[in-house]
Every structure is written in structure tokens, then in C-alpha cells.
Amino acid sequence: MRVLVMLDGTEADADQPHVRVDDLGLMRGDGVFETVLVVDGAPRELGPHLDRLARSAAMLDLPAPDLAAWERVSRQVIDSWTASGEMALKLVYTRGPEFGDGSTTAFALGMPVSARAIAHRETGVSALTLDRGFDPSIVERAPWLLLGAKTLSYAVNMASMRYVEAHGADEAIFVASDGSVLEGPTATVVLIEGDTMRTTPPTSGVLPGTTQGALFRAAERAGWTTKVEPIRREELDGAEGLFLASSVRKITRVHTLDGVEMPDSVKLHAELNALYESEYA
Ligand code: PLP
């Protein structure tokens, strides 16, 4: 099942075309998006997702999104969703048609969560570290690279997924050229050492993850120490817990890194999952 609502509130048939062939989102990946997890009719972290949509749009000099309208269409999609189970709610906002009247393209699309993501929540994943080819210092110096914006230009992210799959793994973890850990192509890295959770700072050119944010919030309440600080690649080897967090994948355990089995983190995974779910209880 899929549910499509344009930003003006018009419900549309998701099997029909609605975007022009000269749309700059299609032609150049010139736009931004969000994917929100909806469980039993409740969107998770909708506020942080909308904030990030606005931040990404600002980085691309798109007109500031009308967040009240985005929230309205999000609810409209959720209300029209009759299938059971979880929904992935995609919010897509592009610069619009190249030869149009200057108006943007904006819609919300509800669809099922992929079976692969659901399976990985249970089984965990094997990951390969991949060179992302930039140094975090470039983030400040080159804002046109849009590092930290969630743009529609995900071809590199998808290519990295195909690369790791062709090499027998499930997931990629990008590493910067100074040896610091960045993020997965669609997920945030979370490292556990004792009672401390750590993730890479957005100043390194990664997306601030809404799932990681929720996990850290719950963890702090439960007495964990949380840190948003750089992680060195070598710190991942043999780590007590290495996880990938994302809206549709929730908290996923990395059981094998670069072909080497990690310490068993099944119990730790259950603990982190319970913390994350406690945010929505
Ligand atoms: N980093 C990247 C590059 C992503 O694409 C995503 C989500 O798709 C994330 C991190 C995780 O963000 P969130 O937890 O908000 O889904």
C-alpha cells in the first residue's frame, strides 16, 4: 500500500505520474527529503524530522518550508493509511520544474517499511568501512558540498550500498580521510564503551540523526553518559557495541566489521532497543 498527498492537501494516486520530467529534483537531485517512521499511527520524531527538513532546505537556498503544512500532510497520509504494521513516511521537497513558474514540488508519500530493514533489526548486519574521501575540516570551508544536508542526491550513498553488497556485507560505514568515523549511507553510527554512548558530531559532515537523538535522550534519563565527539576508525575494532541507528532500521547491531566478528552485543542491543522504545511507550 502507498498513500500520496501533495503539500496542498490534494490526495493523489501513487501509481500515476505527478512530477514533471524537467523537475530539478529528478534532473539534478536538487531537493531535500526526510523519512519518518510511523508506528500504530504515531509518527516518531516528527518535530526533529521537520526541523532537519528546514535546515537542509536552508542549506540548498530553497524557500523555507511551511512546517505547519508539512505536519498537516503528514497527518493526512497517516490517517489514510489502512494497512497494518509500520509505515515509512517520505517527505520530498524539490526546487520544482526547470521551465515552470518557479514553484517547488512537495509531497508526502506513505509506504511500507522494507522487509530488509525489518530483518536487519533482528539479525544485525555485517559492515565494511569505506573511504568517504573528505576531511571533516572541509565542512566549514566548502558549504557548497552540502555536507550534513539530507539532499535527494543519494546516488553515492546507494552506490556504496551496492559496493558492500557485492563484497559480501550488508552495510557501509564511511570514514573520513583523517581516519575519523562518519556515518552509514542511511544511518548514524553509535559506539558503546561501558556506560558511555558516543556518536560523530554533525560538524564532521554527518546528518544529525533523529533516532540517535531519541536513543541518547532515553539513555541520559537512564543514567548513561552520552557524547557527541569524534570517533577514530581504530576505536571500532573489538568495540563492546557498535550500532547503526536510523528511522526505518531503528537500532541495528553491527556483528561483523571489515570481515572480523565483533564481541557479542545481543544483550546490549536489547537494552538499547528498550531505551529507544521507552521514548514512545
Ligand atoms: N545519516 C544518513 C546519511 C541518513 O540518510 C540517515 C537517515 O536516512 C541517518 C543518518 C539517520 O537519520 P534518522 O535517524 O533521522 O533517520
Domain 118-278 of CATH type 3.30.1340.30: no
pLDDT at position 84, please? 87
Say if 3-113 and 118-278 have the same CATH topology: no
Task: List per-residue pLDDT tens for the chain, 281 residues long.
Answer: 999 999 999 999 999 999 999 999 999 999 999 999 999 999 999 999 999 999 999 999 999 999 999 999 999 999 999 998 899 999 999 999 999 999 999 999 999 999 999 999 999 999 999 999 999 999 999 999 999 999 999 999 999 999 999 999 999 999 999 999 999 999 999 999 999 999 999 999 999 999 999 999 999 999 999 999 999 999 999 999 999 999 999 999 999 999 999 999 999 999 999 999 999 99
- Helical ranges in 81-142 per DSSP H: 115-123, 138-141
pTM over 0.95: yes
Q: Atom of ligand 1 at shortest distance to CA of 213? A: 14
Which fold would CATH assign to domain 3-113? D-amino Acid Aminotransferase; Chain A, domain 1 (3.30.470)
List phi, psi (to 5°) of 50.
-65, -40
Q: Does ligand 1 come within 6 angstroms of the Cβ of 246?
A: yes
Cβ–ligand 1 contact at 160 (below 6 Å): no
CB 254 within 8 A of CB 127: yes
Contacting residues for 232 by C-beta, under 8 A, at least 6 apart: 179, 180, 181
CA distances 139 to 59, 150, 281, Å, are 12, 14, 37
Residue 264: name the closest of 239, 234, 232 by CA: 239
What are the residue ranges spanned by the domains of the chain? Answer: 3-113, 118-278
Ligand 1 site-directed mutation target among 246, 249, 272, most atoms within 8 Å of CB = 246
Count other Cβ atoms within 10 Å, centred on residue 72.
15
Q: Which atom of ligand 1 is nearest the CA belonging to 245?
A: 14
Gap between the Cα atoms of 57 and 74, Å rounded: 18
What residues have CB less than 8 Å from 92, skipping those under 6 apart?
A: 25, 31, 33, 105, 106, 107, 108, 109, 152
What is residue 2's predicted lDDT score, i.e. its pLDDT?
96
Contact 207, 148 (CB under 8 A): yes
Cα(113) to centroid(ligand 1), Å: 15
Q: What is the pLDDT of residue 109?
A: 98
Q: Which pLDDT does position 85 carry in this prediction?
A: 85
Is the CB–ligand 1 distance for residue 187 below 6 Å? Answer: yes
Per-residue pLDDT at 8: 97
